[in-house]
Structure 1
Amino acid sequence: MYAILDIETTGGKYNEEGITEIAIYKFDGHKVVDQFISLINPERDIQPFVVNLTGINNNMLRNAPKFYEVAKRIVEITDDCILVAHNAQFDYRILSTEFSRLGFEYVRPSLCTVELSKDLIPGQESYSLGKLVRSLGIPVTDRHRATGDALATVKLFQMLLAKDTGKSIIQQSIRLNPKLQLEPKHIDIIKELPSVTGVYYIHKSDGEIIYIGKSKNIKQRINQHFTNTNHKSKKLQAQVSTVTYEETGSELVALLKESEEIKRLKPKFNRALRRTSFTHALYSFVDDNNYLNLKIDIVDGRKKPITTFTNKQSGKSFITKAVEDYRLCQKLTGLYKTKTSCFNYDIKTCDGACVNKEAAETYNKRVEALITKNSYANKNMVIIDKGREIDERSAILIENGVFKGLGFFNLNYQINNIEVLESIITPMQNNRDTQHIIQSYLRKNKHVKQITFDNP
């Protein structure tokens, strides 16, 4: 007996996702004999990109049952069944995580239709569910909804059963517990790693570093590397011999060290060009009426940005919030294209810079306050963040707008001026990546302490 399922989630950090919708079809090899379909209140917000993908939003789930209210039904319908899913490792992990939050160990054998399709239907251009079923002539409705995807998986699995004429491939592909499908050497490596923030280095048997990464939980991140089933992960799993690490305490320190080490060592499994980590930037210019305008645009190496963003949407979200926080004009920030007044002026939340009603000098002061807040150009400052121990802090030094390096100090150690700081700082390279990393981190972590120094 098989339990063919699909799960939609909130998205978000690994193992912090919540289920928003589940569909399970109990299948005896010929027909569906039972089913369970339900929206689920995940008790956490859904990521915006997931809302766009699935159409499921927070309002839809407000009155839906919570997971603990449907857990018994899920246990019953999957009892004595083999779980079947497209990318079963993901669905199994999500389901097991939800049950573990209830203090229940959920264990079922499983089959992955991605792996089975690669064995039984080789040569496909793509093995994603949507593209695969289309290429096989399997109808699919409600794509990226649990019911539609689960029904498509039922039809795909029927085809796979028919193609497994020797009845051996599917039998050999059953995993007893995907969570524990690790090679002994991988288990030994993970056992020695701590659950700390830092930079990790994956080595081959000859000591060569083939991958560098950072994580807020190194043990968990390496476990992901060893359990992922994509092509890159499998190659990494085959070549890994040891993993070393450097604890940093601070995620910002880890990001900066990771960036520098990748540039220095150029491991083959890391992306060759790290510059692609940010694509858009915030620029300013003065218009014909002497108003200071802001604009989110594609990064241009010839211009000096105020701050940079990973993508256009991130930049747009930033400028939208800035308009509200600093009472800026939508027209002069590029959010509202018009030759007359902006929408906010019409509803009296813009003071009229768009139609020359507000003095340019008054308006520009608020824009300059935003620029000063989000740029460390020409500043002498130190960013104080977490350290590796309880009585330690990290320090990131910036002199005249240039990132100089970082270090650690004991809480009993007095930091009075840049000269004192320079004695504990390890010099590091300043470049566009470090600027992006620091500015992006400060935007997301507003509680981080910053100390400004006078010019020497």
Structure 2
Amino acid sequence: MYAILDIETTGGKYNEEGITEIAIYRFNGHEVIDQFISLVNPEREIQPFVVNLTGINSNMLRSAPKFYEVAKRIVELTEDCILVAHNADFDYRILKTEFKRLGFPFKRKTLCTVELSQQLIPDMESYSLGKLARALGIPVSDRHRAQGDALATVKLFKMLLDKDKRKSIIKNSVKVEKRSKLSSNLKNIIEELPSDTGVYYIHNAEGDIIYIGKSNNIRKRITQHFTNSNSKSKKIQTLVTSVTYEKTGSELVALLKESEEIKNNKPILNRALKQHKFSQGLYSFVDDRGYVNLRINHIKKNEKPITTFTNRQSAISFMNRMIEQYELCPKLCGIQKSETSCFHYDIKECHGACISDESADAYNKRTSSVIQKNTYENKNMILIDRGRDIEEKSVILVEDGIFKGLGFFDLNHQINNIDILHSLITPMSNNRDTQHIIQSYMRRNKRLKVVELSKL
């Protein structure tokens, strides 16, 4: 017996979604013998993109039953059934999460029609439900609504049953949920953690911090620590008794806090290399013709690069982007070696600085722009990024090229003078690590808001 279903959700963070609509068809292998279709009040906000996709909005759900009111019917309809869905892992996870909120265990065998289709109908252009149904001539009404998608899945599953002549593929594709290998104390720790960006601290029985990390999803990262089999994870699993955390909202804030906290606490399981994550630097010099040359070189102790990179590959990738964006000469950037003109000059993508066809003044204006954009030496600026909630922003302060610290401010308050800004900032250490973290983040995140202090 099968229970073929489709679920629509609110969207949002992993394991924090709620069900907005559910459709289940109890199927005996030949025909549908029972069904249940209902909107569900998720008691939480629906993400705007989900409203646009499904057409289901909060007004439609105000009078809909809450999950606990339909839970009994779902249990009855799926009892002794294999759950079948298009991307079954998702629908099964959502159902288990909802039942877990009620304190009720929900365990079923599952079958995924995506995986079955890939085996029984190979070489399709796409295995999304809409495109697969269209290619196979399966009519779909109310796409992205539970009833329409569940009915399409019923028709698709019938077709897959027919194609599996010996019924061996479908039988072998049934998934049985394995018992969790996590001990109860590790499970309990994970349950208390948020799926937010921040810094986490792993403590031993004495309360000492044994490991510090940062993640865009703290719960997911700790779960990885507790389930991985590498030597560090095994040590963590043996020693951990609790995990504390600090939400940051911004990945940049998390990176800066992680760096500072590791230096201050020196946890036994943090790698020493954490303090030296970069090896390559961008440098400049003026050649005997007066042209400013750029070079990627290994960082030496007493040298001060314009900006830094984690490895040579990322540095070369950056240099190639600058060459293209600022129309620089690859030869003067150390990317191409030639006795005469560079290859880019031959294909008219270099203005000829390599053979003095372009004046040094004209060329140096563009290299100066690259240097100016990628260094914050002597600069006074603030970086504004995400906050810990929707009504908040984070702010990082750099004065005279020195990282001063970070803080948070409410969107209802304007940062309109330097005194207000200083009152928001928690002082932090300035070092080569923080410089690398900030510069690297600025390169990678084009949406980061950068404001010069003189403009406040």
Normalised TM-score (structure 1): 0.63
Deviation per CA, 1:276-304: give whole Å up to 9, x if none: 31111111111111111111111122111
Write the mapping of 1:424-435 to structure 2, written as runs, cut at 5 A.
424-435=424-435
Deviation at 1:411, TM superposition (A): 1.1
Instruction: Evaluate the alpha carbon distance shift between residue 455 and residue 243 of structure 1 in structure 2; reply closer, same or farther with a 3 A threshold.
Output: same
Classify the secondary structure of the residue corresponding to 1:423: helix
Gaps of 5+ in 2: 1-13, 15-115, 133-155
- d(CA) in 2 for partners of 1:62, 1:302: 58
Deviation at 1:445, TM superposition (A): 0.5
Gaps of 5+ in 1: 1-13, 15-35, 40-60, 84-105, 110-175
Q: Which amino acid aligns with 1:261?
A: E
Question: For residue 107 of structure 1, what is the aligned residue in structure 2?
Answer: 175
**Residue 316 in 1 paired to residue 316 in 2?**
yes
Instruction: Evaluate the alpha carbon distance shift between residue 358 and residue 197 of structure 1 in structure 2; reply closer, same or farther with a 3 A threshold.
Output: same
Instruction: Evaluate the alpha carbon distance shift between residue 77 and residue 253 of structure 1 in structure 2; reply closer, same or farther with a 3 A threshold.
Output: farther
Q: Contact (CA 8 Å) 2:293, 2:333: kept in 1 or not?
A: yes
Percent identity among equivalent residues? 55
Q: Contact (CA 8 Å) 2:408, 2:424: kept in 1 or not?
A: yes
Question: For residue 243 of structure 1, what is the aligned residue in structure 2?
Answer: 243
Q: Which amino acid aligns with 1:331?
A: K
**Residue 340 in 1 paired to residue 340 in 2?**
yes
Q: Contact (CA 8 Å) 2:199, 2:246: kept in 1 or not?
A: yes
Question: For residue 90 of structure 1, what is the aligned residue in structure 2?
Answer: none
Question: For residue 418 of structure 1, what is the aligned residue in structure 2?
Answer: 418
Q: Which amino acid aligns with 2:382?
A: V
Question: For residue 198 of structure 1, what is the aligned residue in structure 2?
Answer: 198
Question: For residue 221 of structure 1, what is the aligned residue in structure 2?
Answer: 221
Question: For residue 453 of structure 2, what is the aligned residue in structure 1?
Answer: 453
Question: For residue 260 of structure 2, what is the aligned residue in structure 1?
Answer: 260
Deviation at 1:182, TM superposition (A): 1.2
- d(CA) in 2 for partners of 1:205, 1:226: 16
Instruction: Evaluate the alpha carbon distance shift between residue 235 and residue 303 of structure 1 in structure 2; reply closer, same or farther with a 3 A threshold.
Output: same
Write the mapping of 1:374-453 to structure 2, written as runs, cut at 5 A.
374-453=374-453
Question: For residue 352 of structure 1, what is the aligned residue in structure 2?
Answer: 352
Q: Contact (CA 8 Å) 2:259, 2:275: kept in 1 or not?
A: no
Classify the secondary structure of the residue corresponding to 1:294: strand
Alignment RMSD, CA only?
3.1
Write the mapping of 1:37-186 to structure 2, written as runs, cut at 5 A.
66=127, 107-108=175-176, 176-177=178-179, 180-186=180-186
- d(CA) in 1 for partners of 2:123, 2:265: 49
Deviation per CA, 1:31-63: give whole Å up to 9, x if none: xxxxx9x89xxxxxxxxxxxxxxxxxxxxx998
Classify the secondary structure of the residue corresponding to 2:288: coil
Classify the secondary structure of the residue corresponding to 1:304: coil
Classify the secondary structure of the residue corresponding to 1:234: helix
Deviation per CA, 1:316-360: give whole Å up to 9, x if none: 100001100000000001110112111110000100000011010
Runs (4+) off by over 4 Å: 61-69, 71-81
Q: Which amino acid aligns with 2:175?
A: V
- d(CA) in 1 for partners of 2:392, 2:356: 52
- d(CA) in 1 for partners of 2:347, 2:279: 33
Classify the secondary structure of the residue corresponding to 2:293: strand
- d(CA) in 2 for partners of 1:204, 1:372: 46
Classify the secondary structure of the residue corresponding to 1:454: helix
Deviation per CA, 1:360-388: give whole Å up to 9, x if none: 01101101111111111110000000111
Classify the secondary structure of the residue corresponding to 2:196: coil
- d(CA) in 1 for partners of 2:450, 2:246: 24
- d(CA) in 2 for partners of 1:62, 1:315: 39
Deviation per CA, 1:68-102: give whole Å up to 9, x if none: 77x98899766665x9xxxxxxxxxxxxxxxxxxx
Q: Contact (CA 8 Å) 1:380, 1:455: kept in 2 or not?
A: no
Instruction: Evaluate the alpha carbon distance shift between residue 232 and residue 282 of structure 1 in structure 2; reply closer, same or farther with a 3 A threshold.
Output: same
Whose radius of gyration is greater, 1 or 2? Answer: 2
Equivalenced residues, count: 312
Instruction: Evaluate the alpha carbon distance shift between residue 78 and residue 192 of structure 1 in structure 2; reply closer, same or farther with a 3 A threshold.
Output: farther
Deviation per CA, 1:174-194: give whole Å up to 9, x if none: xx35xx321111110010111
Instruction: Evaluate the alpha carbon distance shift between residue 78 and residue 404 of structure 1 in structure 2; reply closer, same or farther with a 3 A threshold.
Output: farther
Classify the secondary structure of the residue corresponding to 1:383: strand
Question: For residue 62 of structure 2, what is the aligned residue in structure 1?
Answer: none
Q: Which amino acid aligns with 1:433?
A: D
Instruction: Evaluate the alpha carbon distance shift between residue 455 and residue 416 of structure 1 in structure 2; reply closer, same or farther with a 3 A threshold.
Output: closer
- d(CA) in 1 for partners of 2:320, 2:169: 47
Instruction: Evaluate the alpha carbon distance shift between residue 246 and residue 78 of structure 1 in structure 2; reply closer, same or farther with a 3 A threshold.
Output: farther
Q: Which amino acid aligns with 2:447?
A: H
Deviation at 1:275, TM superposition (A): 3.7
Deviation at 1:65, TM superposition (A): 5.5
- d(CA) in 2 for partners of 1:418, 1:299: 35
Q: Which amino acid aligns with 2:301?
A: G
- d(CA) in 2 for partners of 1:339, 1:367: 22
- d(CA) in 2 for partners of 1:383, 1:200: 23
Deviation at 1:273, TM superposition (A): 3.2
Normalised TM-score (structure 2): 0.63
Question: For residue 8 of structure 1, what is the aligned residue in structure 2?
Answer: none
Deviation per CA, 1:135-193: give whole Å up to 9, x if none: xxxxxxxxxxxxxxxxxxxxxxxxxxxxxxxxxxxxxxxxx35xx32111111001011
Question: For residue 124 of structure 1, what is the aligned residue in structure 2?
Answer: none
Instruction: Evaluate the alpha carbon distance shift between residue 360 and residue 316 of structure 1 in structure 2; reply closer, same or farther with a 3 A threshold.
Output: same
Q: Which amino acid aligns with 2:316?
A: K
Classify the secondary structure of the residue corresponding to 2:223: helix
